[in-house]
Amino acid sequence: MESLLTYNSVIIPKEGGGNLEIVLLLFTIFPIIVILASIIGYLLIKKWFVIPLLTSVVFTILTFTIFNESFFIWTVLYTILSLIMSLIMKFSKK
């Protein structure tokens, strides 16, 4: 357990570089991935609920494998972001 750091109750590996990387993941990289996946997923599948469901499943798995239970709030936020983007795509395509 000595090779792990705790940042705001989220466990990250020590060799990960520090706090800047986790902030970069949480506030830029993950939201961009969720937004792009929601747009592309809606255009390919044409069902507004599939990508938010997939987002929820993927981030829940990440919560319990890579991060810890405190990451679950981010799972909820990314799922809501995906839901909003999917609904925007649904109503803008009509």
Question: In whole angstroms, how far apart are CA 92 and each of 47, 66, 78, 86?
Answer: 14, 36, 21, 10
Residue 8 burial class via C-beta count within 10 angstroms: exposed 0-12, middle 13-18, buried 19 and up: exposed
Residue range 46-83, pLDDT digits in tens: 999 999 999 999 999 999 999 889 999 999 999 999 99
Question: What are the beta bridge partners of residue 5?
Answer: 12
Residue range 11-56, pLDDT digits in tens: 555 555 567 888 888 899 999 999 999 999 999 999 999 999 999 9
Q: Is the pTM of this model over 0.75?
A: yes
- Kindly list the domain boundaries of the chain, sorted by start residue: 4-92
Question: What count of residues does the chain have?
Answer: 94
